[in-house]
């Protein structure tokens, strides 16, 4: 991945018509066993409707309703014996401060499908869950917590894309809305959790498949029995080099430690990937460290 210019800013880097594409080696606990998988993280800006909470086709049609969103797509796939899981988080945030606007989550596996949507308002988080499990489909309504963010927003706010999240050696407490990924695998409803986030006083060095990097280490301790560590690239663009969730107590939910996951950066690139969906576009996966899913595509 080419180094950014010395004067790189959020606007010059994220408004250049490309997306950041990151591939990760991936592991997750499911049904009590550690599973290997595949993970892709896509970060991109796009115009978004404040009223409809969807991507805008023509921003000039209603500019008063349109703002720039920084979107995180996190796609995870892993095998559980005979059958596989495919999950995806789409998180939309205000690019000015990375406050959450909407989270959409989907999970498909051989038993069925689940979809969840969360819309963040000034006073409440509203949405719904649609599940193939009996009694799990429901409307979602939670009070908005002052200063609260979506758990998946940690993948953005800790990067310090408009300034450090915390000074070295400092801590901060805030409410997190537990990720639909963890609540789905743990079979528990959406809920706020209290989090304390600490930044290590000194830089650390971390080695991942993409190479060795100076990094900023953040540790998030949650009151639901989980602790997450995030190694953030010290240099711009402050990519997520590695993350790892562990259980420091007894995690909530009947599935125990299921959903605790970890990823290490394989490779990273920046591309207008939405234009690369024709035959032969599979070769760009190599720039993310990922292999095409089909043998025929691998040979092109």
Task: Quick: pLDDT tens for 174-230.
Answer: 999 999 999 999 888 999 999 999 999 999 999 999 999 999 999 999 999 999 999
Q: How confident is the model at residue 256 (pLDDT cuts 50, 70, 90)?
A: low
Closest CA to 217 of 195, 191, 193, 244: 244
d(CA 90, CA 69): 12
Residues 152-171 have pLDDT tens digits of 999 999 999 999 999 999 99
Q: How far apart are CA 200 and CA 216, in angstroms?
A: 7
Which strand (E) or helix (H) includes residue 265?
strand 261-271
Are the C-beta atoms of 257 and 245 separated by less than 8 Å?
Answer: no
d(CA 244, CA 46): 29
Q: The whole model's pTM is what?
A: 0.94
pLDDT, greater one: 250 or 49: 49
In which band, very low, low, confident or very high, does the pLDDT at 250 lie, cut at 50, 70 and 90?
low
- For residue 81 the two structure tokens come to 């014996």
Angle at 117 between CA 43 and CA 240, to 5 degrees: 25
Yes or no: say if 54 and 43 are a contact pair by the CB < 8 Å rule.
no
């Amino acid at each position: 991945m080419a180094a950014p210019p010395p004067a790189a800013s959020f606007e010059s880097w994220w408004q250049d018509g490309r997306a950041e594409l990151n591939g990760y080696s991936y592991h997750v606990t499911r049904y009590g066993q550690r599973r290997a998988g595949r993970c892709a993280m896509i970060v991109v800006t796009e115009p978004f409707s404040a009223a409809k909470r969807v991507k805008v086709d023509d921003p000039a049609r209603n500019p008063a309703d349109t703002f720039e969103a920084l979107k995180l797509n996190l796609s995870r796939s892993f095998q559980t014996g005979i059958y596989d899981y495919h999950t995806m988080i789409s998180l939309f945030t205000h690019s000015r401060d990375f406050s959450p606007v909407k989270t959409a989550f989907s999970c498909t596996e051989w038993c069925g499908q689940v979809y969840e949507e969360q819309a963040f308002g000034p006073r409440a988080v509203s949405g719904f869950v649609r599940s193939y499990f009996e009694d799990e489909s429901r409307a979602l309504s939670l009070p908005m917590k002052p200063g609260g963010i979506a758990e998946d927003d940690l993948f953005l706010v800790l990067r310090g894309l408009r300034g450090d999240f915390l000074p070295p050696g400092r801590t901060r407490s805030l409410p997190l809305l537990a990720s639909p990924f963890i609540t789905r695998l743990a079979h528990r409803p959406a809920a706020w959790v209290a989090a304390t986030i600490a930044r290590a006083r000194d830089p650390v060095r971390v080695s991942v498949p993409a190479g060795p990097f100076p990094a900023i280490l953040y540790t998030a301790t949650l009151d639901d029995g989980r602790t997450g560590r995030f190694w953030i690239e010290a240099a711009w663009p402050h990519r997520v080099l590695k993350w790892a969730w562990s259980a420091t107590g007894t995690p909530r939910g009947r599935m125990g430690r299921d959903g605790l996951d970890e990823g290490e950066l394989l490779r990273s690139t920046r591309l207008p990937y939405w234009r690369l969906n024709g035959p032969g576009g599979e070769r760009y996966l190599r720039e993310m460290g990922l292999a095409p899913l089909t043998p025929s595509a691998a040979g092109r």
